[in-house]
Amino acid sequence: MRTLAGLLSLVSAATLSAQTETPAPRNLELFLPPGSLPSADAVQVTLGRTKLPVKSIQAPHPTPGLVILDLAATPLERHACLVLELAQAMPALQGMAIYQTGGTLGEILYPAGMATGLHLSLLGPMSRLEEQCRKPAAPRTAPVMAEALPVIELIRILTARYQGQGPLRIFWLSGDFEFYDWRKYQARNNNPRMRSLATAPPSQFLTFSGVGEFLAESLSLGPATIFPILGGAQRSTDAGRLLAESTGGRFRLTTSKPGEALRAAVEESQALSVATVELPASSAGPATLRLQVGRDTHVDRQLSLRPVRPVSTPALEEIANRVVTYSDDLGLGSGCAEGREGAFVRLILPENASKPEPGPLLVYIQYFLPDTRSLRQRLVLPRPGPLCIELNEQAPGSRFILVAHDEQTGWTGAKNGKLNAVEAQ
């Protein structure tokens, strides 16, 4: 993870990212309030005091979606239960990408750095997650604001990546949203260093009431709608609602039934109609956009027409891992040595990992040595072809975990093995 100074410089750059040229008029798709499918004549859209033309109304249809598992801003004792919320809702996500910042590794999430720079976190078995969630843990000191900054950068990167693909749905799981309402956070914080950090130029945090307004340019690209889901500190409920309201989303609390809140948020988002509106040629900064349906139903969001100038940002892999479930039916076998010296293993893939024109297989191997875990291998296996790997013989008899990932299909397999064994242990 980048240093605090580095992340703050990136955040500061975002506040100065306006271009001087005036943008041309453009169409933008926005989610309407929940309810029936209205006609274009029944929808009124205003940006500040300006009325915007409604070009068309579309019935609910699939739009891009992703999940942020914000463990960086979640107290340690809430990690397992927050991950369990995600795991139980996996079927409802329908394969959408999940990005994790910070967090507990090992029994809950196992990290794997693939050959192409992709960082994965393998989701542990459900039974283990349930056990860890029930296990009492001593509370720790609340995270500091610096631990919230990676999520801010993650949102900026992802909104740019999904630009022009329709309204982006961001389902944001966190144990604490208070960091993203900076005025409230500063009022509560008793650390003089953090108070000076929050008010000192050039970050100018006090210019903004929260991250929804601060990121208005980025969130307006797609645009993005945030659905915050709180699984922890009740004091940050207001901050979670602020995030939702500033982008037209809805705030939810996790329940005693893990997965219910995230599933409900996804299902509700899939039932939202979409209005296409014409934005004026203006370089105005954040303003309130209101979509009014009838007399009593409306949704407000912060929208900015100011173009976002590209700024230096970290690579996605530097600040977040992709969370994946993995198959345990990956096999390890022999038949690769062909007279060569060394220890070789052959990957045996299940039927669901095979296809007529397969893409390359990304492989990560972590060796568990007596005194260190620093020995790793990362490689790309082209397909079709023999899936043979020469193992590192630095520590005969050591155990290892092998992770194979197909980026085209999202299939991931993991298997434990031992160097002096032909078959998997």
Q: Which amino acid would we find at residue 422?
A: V
pLDDT at 95: 87
In the predicted model, what is the mean pLDDT of residues 177-198? 58
Residues 108 and 138 in one domain: yes
Q: End of a domain among 287, 321, 355?
A: 321
Containing domain of residue 157, as a range?
4-17+61-270+309-321
The residue among 338 and 17 whose pLDDT is bigger is 338
pLDDT digits (tens, 9 = 90+) for 53-100: 999 999 999 999 999 999 988 888 889 999 999 999 999 998 899 999
pLDDT at 12: 47
Question: What's the rounded Cα separation, in Å, for the pair 107 and 109?
Answer: 6
Does residue 22 form part of some domain?
A: no
pLDDT at 391: 87
Residues 361 and 263 in one domain: no
Residues 316 and 342 in one domain: no
Residues 197 and 333 in one domain: no
What CATH code is carried by the domain that includes residue 125? 3.40.50.410
In the predicted model, what is the mean pLDDT of residues 262-288? 89
What CATH code is carried by the domain that includes residue 383? 2.60.40
Say yes or no to pLDDT of 172 above 90. Answer: yes
Residues 167 and 250 in one domain: yes
The mean pLDDT value of the chain amounts to 81
Does residue 144 form part of some domain?
A: yes
pLDDT at 305: 83
Residues 406 and 372 in one domain: yes
Residues 83 and 146 in one domain: yes
pLDDT at 17: 42
Residues 102 and 239 in one domain: yes
Does residue 39 form part of some domain?
A: no
pTM over 0.75: yes
Say yes or no to pLDDT of 193 above 50. Answer: no
Does residue 236 form part of some domain?
A: yes
The residue among 242 and 338 whose pLDDT is bigger is 242
Helix (H) or strand (E) holding 264: helix 260-270
In the predicted model, what is the mean pLDDT of residues 185-203? 47
Which of the residue ranges 5-14, 144-153, 364-373, 402-411 would you say has the lowest mean pLDDT? 5-14
pLDDT digits (tens, 9 = 90+) for 207-234: 455 666 677 888 888 889 999 999 977 7
Residues 6+ apart with CB under 8 A from 121: 100, 103, 105, 109, 110, 111, 112, 321, 322, 323, 324
Task: Confirm if 336 and 388 have CB atoms less than 8 A apart.
Answer: yes
Residues 333 and 254 in one domain: no
Residues 314 and 400 in one domain: no
Tally the domains of the chain.
Answer: 2
Helix (H) or strand (E) holding 83: helix 79-88
Does residue 299 form part of some domain?
A: no
Say yes or no to pLDDT of 294 above 80. Answer: yes
Residues 130 and 236 in one domain: yes
Helix (H) or strand (E) holding 65: strand 65-70
pLDDT at 424: 40
In the predicted model, what is the mean pLDDT of residues 360-388? 86
Residues 316 and 332 in one domain: no
For tokens 């720790």, the residue is 140
The residue among 234 and 290 whose pLDDT is bigger is 290
Q: End of a domain among 254, 288, 321?
A: 321
